[in-house]
Amino acid sequence: MNIARQIGHNTRRLREAAGRSLADLATSAGLSKTTLHAIEQGEANPTLSTLWSLATELEVPLGTLLDSASPEGTVVRAGEGPRVAGESVHARLLHRIHAPGWIEVYELDVTSDRQHSRAHLRGVEECLIVTRGRVETGPSEAPTTLDAGDSVHFDAAQPHVYQGLEDANDAILIMIHH
């Protein structure tokens, strides 16, 4: 499904679930009914500010309008993922992670030595974004090779691995503790 259709599908689904009419949501979001109808039909390319307005009025995170429901353990390659643009901000959604606990962010330098990490406590997830080089990571039974710009999100309550595949490998690790 392309991004315009995904946004349209999510907007309509959320509007209907909230019991709001097209006219009501359009008015409160500062849009015309025609514009909102075009968005819901996947025939419009809404700006970032329009999407923020809709998300605010529907009381959901912006990513809820952009993303399709996905299973645990997703890989997003460089250049993939829904994109939205505003006047000066251009964003690409990498992962949506529900986190009612602690979130830790780490800068990593990943060497060529293979690291086997034991399972973390239940409820711990990891999201790794490679910023330079190539890294193999993920659940020990099915690791993924990521290039710069790629990312992976997985359940870290299982054994997992890290290994740099080039001379210099850098990444950002986001650990979510539920």
pLDDT in tens, 109-136: 999 999 998 898 888 899 999 999 999 9
19 in Cβ contact with 58 (< 8 Å)? no
DSSP-assigned letter for residue 64:
H
Domain count for the chain, please give it.
Answer: 2
Q: In what order do the strands lie in the sheet with 170-177?
A: 74-76, 151-155, 124-132, 170-177, 102-109
Domain that holds residue 12: 3-67
Distance CA 127, CA 22 (A): 37
**Do 128 and 63 share a structural domain?**
no
For residue range 29-48, list pLDDT tens digits in order.
999 999 999 999 999 989 88
Q: What is the CATH number of the domain that holds 33?
A: 1.10.260.40
Of 71-75, 112-116, 150-154, the least confident: 71-75
**Of the residues 20, 46, 67, the one at which a domain ends:** 67
